[in-house]
Structure 1
């Protein structure tokens, strides 16, 4: 007569998986696989980031510390190492500092003007009324047009014998050189504002969609005037989108190459010789690839500073909200 222990042994053998592995070990191996699954899902994105961002960044850093030009390009792996000489030359012997100042001032001025325009347009088109769809479509025209198309149209209009000077001459105002000289800076600012404000408009409009209708109803019941309603109801909801729009708009203006290149050509006039144009001319017209790489690294650092400040502020804001909860 078989004993109880023998029956338990037979039951354990029947539940043992094939291959002699215990259920505990199988479960542990399954747990390790599930724990590593998110890392495997991130592999395609990590591969693209490495190929598209990290490898070109490493090449740019390497090029910035070697004497790479049209004569040493064929044997760039054996090009002499010059250390920080390219950075020193870029700061002391080129127009890098002037270009940085032009880029920053032009970008900040454009953003300061486009943010109120975009927010005002979003407030105007938030509530439904007859013809709102047409107004929204018209507002988006500068945004959907490619930058080179915008620059080409404005370049044609701002020629010395273009339509702008013709209209000014007809109303008794002296024509101006819009594409050269001191007026070229304000031309760049004006065209950039015309092309960029719909982006702020879209971000502000998206932020307005998050405003609860009950808040509007409560403000109406309390008899709040339109200005007080904007200041105490709508603007608090737009704080995050407007801050993001200010940052993205400023960085986009600094990095904009197509519009000044098509509008003024290369090399550009001294008053609009922005940083992307300077890097392009140094690299593809002067063929100083190492020097241009050093300029590109400086521009990357310039862009990373406000981005780091914004991300730090957002992180602190999230931490404060978590602490309050």
Structure 2
């Protein structure tokens, strides 16, 4: 006979989740169905109801589709760039050596710096007469405007990758700490070299932490507002018109609160896709492990 589970213990967490997630999302959906602007904002509940007109305008008459492509493209590129960097850094600092604590702490500096500081620093570096062009020009690398035009996209990728790779490093390092030492000893007894050890012992055990790192990194990049806002300002260049900045412009510059709320709801639907894929993959892995045991 199964003992009765104390489901009442879930009430505090459920109430907190409702207050922090469900209620704001419900308010956003409500605002997205209204013609709410600077004129009707004081009569919020009395604003004209327009149904899905804001969604239709967002998808057909605004730069939303372009912003989604830019956001997903740059987030995916940053994730691909930061993945090998973070994994390599975690493998390099996993074993003990003199000064390991200092190196581990130094690797976390780009991630713990506020986005405002990172954006301001790199904005100075990427100026036409900044450090970047002065270093690259003698090397024969084409230089020019990094904060406007086509190169602005790659400037955003470089800066975001510099700031985000320690997240992958940290999660991968945490996964390495959970590996059983018996696996390393068994691989050594079998005469496995370093590459075989990585490929057949370490990498399979890191599949979960690395997948989680990729998901969190992608979601963090696609939702990052502060870094593009500080780096490029508003209105941002067309090549880096990411979704959070576009939503900000529609809300706090154009005062189209209903339209910006519709964009925000659509962005929630966008980020729900990779989350659903990840949760589905985790569920399949858990089911497979249950069948094998």
TM-score of the superposed pair, with normalisation by structure 1 = 0.86
Q: Residues 143, 222 of structure 1: CA spacing in aligned structure 2 closer, same or farther, 3 A cutoff?
A: same
Which structure has the bigger radius of gyration? 1
**Equivalent of 2:249 in 257, 266, 281:** 281
1:151-230 to 2 correspondences below 5 Å = 151-171=119-139, 173=141, 175-230=143-198
Residues 231 and 68 of structure 1: CA distance in aligned 2, closer, same or farther (over 3 Å): same
**1:221: how far off?**
2.1
Query: Match for residue 9 of structure 1?
Result: none
Q: Does 1:144 align with 2:112?
A: yes
Structure 1 position 175, deviation (Å):
3.4
Distance 1:238 1:173, change over 3 A: closer
Mean Cα displacement is larger for which, 170-179 or 187-196?
170-179
Instruction: Give the match for residue 124 of structure 1.
Output: 92
User: In the alignment, what sits opposite 1:304?
Assistant: 272
- The residue that corresponds to 1:247 in the other structure is 215
TM superposition score normalised by structure 2? 0.95
Q: Of residues 10, 14, 21 in structure 2, which corresponds to 1:42?
A: 10
Q: How many Å separate the matches in 1 of 2:277 and 2:98?
A: 43
Q: Tell me by how many angstroms 1:167 deviates.
A: 2.5
CA deviations 1:133-181 (Å, max 9, x no partner) are 2221211111111111111111111112222222234555553111111
In the superposition, relative to structure 1, how do residues 153 and 106 fare at CA in structure 2: closer, same or farther (>3 Å)?
same
Contact 1:160 1:176 in 2 (8 A): yes
Distance in 2 of aligned mates of 1:297 and 1:232 = 43
Structure 2 unmatched runs, 5+: none
Q: Of 96, 99, 105, which residue of structure 1 is paired with 2:64?
A: 96
Q: Is the 1:210–1:237 Cα contact (8 Å) retained in structure 2?
A: no
Give the CA deviation at 1:118: 0.5
Distance 1:207 1:267 in 2: 41
The counterpart of 1:321, out of the listed 268, 275, 289, is: 289
* Residues 36, 133 of structure 1: alpha-carbon distance in 2 compared, 3 angstrom cutoff: closer
Q: Secondary structure at the match of 1:75?
A: helix
Structure 2 residue 31 is matched with structure 1 residue 59: no
Matches of 1:246 and 1:175, distance apart in 2:
31
Q: CA RMSD in A?
A: 1.5
> What does the per-residue CA deviation read over 1:52-75, in whole Å, with 9 as the maximum and x for residues that have no partner?
211111110011111111111111
Aligned pairs for 1:71-86 within 5 A: 71-86=39-54
**The residue matched to 1:267 in structure 2 has which SS?**
coil
Distance (whole Å) between structure 2 residues aligned to residue 229 and residue 95 of structure 1: 49
Which fold has the larger relative contact order, with Cα–Cα distance below 8 Å and residues 6 or more apart in sequence? 2
Q: How far apart, in 2, do the equivalents of 1:306 and 1:36 lie?
A: 32
Query: Of residues 107, 114, 127 in structure 1, which corresponds to 2:75?
Result: 107
